[in-house]
Amino acid sequence: MRALDLLDWDDLKVFINAARGGSLAGAAKRLRVDQSTVSRRLAHLEGALGIALFERVPSGLRLSEAGQRLLGHAERVESAVIAMGEEVSPSTGQAGGRVRLATMEGIASLYLAERFGSLRETHPDLTVELVTSSQTVYVNRREADLFLSFFKPPGQGLVSELVGRFRLGLYGAPGYLARAGIPKSLDDLREHAFVSYIDDLIQVDCVRWLDDVVRDRHVVFHSTSMIAQKQAAAGGLGLVLLPSFAVSGRDDLVPVLHEAASTSRDLWLNVHTDLQFAPRIRAVAGFLKGLFRSDPSLQLGLRPPPTPCRRSLVVEGLH
């Protein structure tokens, strides 16, 4: 019997997740099975092929040369299985199922979350999973179906579309401005306190947006969270640079030097090539694009941004 006749899709699925997670525990968690099941499946696959697919290292699992070659083939099988599942699913005329959307914490929590109600009204069978994290997101590891990013990600197998652009400006609390004075020029900013990100923990270079406005600054509060920065500024700690989507009329924050001290960033919507035509993906993508098109503050004429975003948050396509 040929080795190919012994191949099992479940074994390949375990292999793919073990390769992506780099450990038995990681694969078990993603697949919601125990580690012994993962270990048994990998052993069966290696036995069927007659080759070692992993090297056991202190940190977990590392692909062997043979394993690296197999991974590319296995991921193409995975793409075909997903595409097949999307195409043969019974059509009810209504998009349904789960869609995992990954994006940054600020736009997810301060803008998107409260607007998903209208999507639910038009697509009651859709369930959105909104993933917010400053950690690396690997689209080719199936950590998300859609990725809304502040830069166009590199990599093969992705369809990326520029869907908007937002402005960022300085804000301060009335109490802070009464105490420290209202800056009249960019030079005056040297005398003010700021809140910003923790520099060595920044995962996405795009959020170094304060560098676009003022470099010689005195930061008195740092946080990895845009929401925490906003609250700190509202509490009177100092000035903060925030996107237009993060500030509403309900916030006790006052614009500061908005004509002189501002910058902008892009919004890119990215999807797997093998998922781009799935009804559930098209429904969520269409909702997001319509939302941004209807909001003038997220268009800005789509002029080129002043500072290109470098790749820190890695988003790669299928190989």
Name the least confident of 20-24, 61-65, 108-112, 222-226: 20-24
Quote the CA–CA distance of 191 and 295 in Å, as a whole number.
Answer: 35
Quote the CA–CA distance of 296 and 291 in Å, as a whole number.
Answer: 10
Architecture of domain 3-88: Orthogonal Bundle (1.10)
pLDDT at 75 over 90: no
pLDDT score, position 118? 93
Domain 94-319 has CATH 1.10.600.10: no
pLDDT score, position 16? 86
pLDDT digits (tens, 9 = 90+) for 255-314: 999 889 999 999 999 998 888 888 899 999 999 999 999 998 888 755 444 445 644 333
pLDDT digits (tens, 9 = 90+) for 88-112: 665 555 678 889 999 999 999 999 9
In CATH terms, are 3-88 and 94-319 the same topology? no
- Domain map of the chain by residue range? 3-88, 94-319
pLDDT score, position 181? 96
What mean pLDDT is predicted for residues 137-141?
A: 55
pLDDT at 134 over 80: no
pTM for the full predicted model: 0.77
pLDDT above 70 as % of the chain: 85
pLDDT digits (tens, 9 = 90+) for 153-209: 877 778 899 999 999 999 999 999 999 999 999 999 999 999 999 999 888 888 999
Q: Cα separations (Å) of 218 from 81, 93, 192, 214, 223?
A: 54, 57, 7, 10, 15
